[in-house]
Amino acid sequence: MKALVSMGALLVSATLCAESLGFFEQKFTSINFEKGKWSRNAQLPCYKYTASENGATVDVLRLGTNNLVPFRATTGLTVVVCGSTAAFDEGFEAIKPVQTAAGPQRSGS
């Protein structure tokens, strides 16, 4: 009986831990929001950015790398920036950057 109870508790805890938190975080050295496509709301010490139209982009230069990662949002998705950490809502689409001699650019631009 104890074995069944222990096994049940283990299965329940594994199921509960498997749920998504609804966001992902990125540590960054630089973050750039596409001009005119984001609103900003101060929630000190953090800032909340909300996409005001579909296709709004945000470029993230990841901490400790030279990887510039562009993300595309749909209307209403948010990014909360606190210090050097950005918490993104689920639903952002990563855009593969194109490397050129002039520097990284978003594909499809």
Question: Residue 16 falls within a domain, yes or no?
Answer: no
Asked if residue 37 lies in contact with residue 52, where contact means CB atoms within 8 angstroms, the answer is yes
Question: Residue 85 falls within a domain, yes or no?
Answer: yes
Arithmetic mean of pLDDT over the chain = 77
**Is residue 75 scored above 90 in pLDDT?**
yes
The total of structural domains in the chain comes to: 1
pLDDT recorded at residue 23:
74
pLDDT recorded at residue 98:
47
Average pLDDT, integer, range 4-33 = 58
pLDDT recorded at residue 62:
85
Question: Residue 86 falls within a domain, yes or no?
Answer: yes
Higher pLDDT, 13 or 46: 46
Domain span at residue 79? 21-106
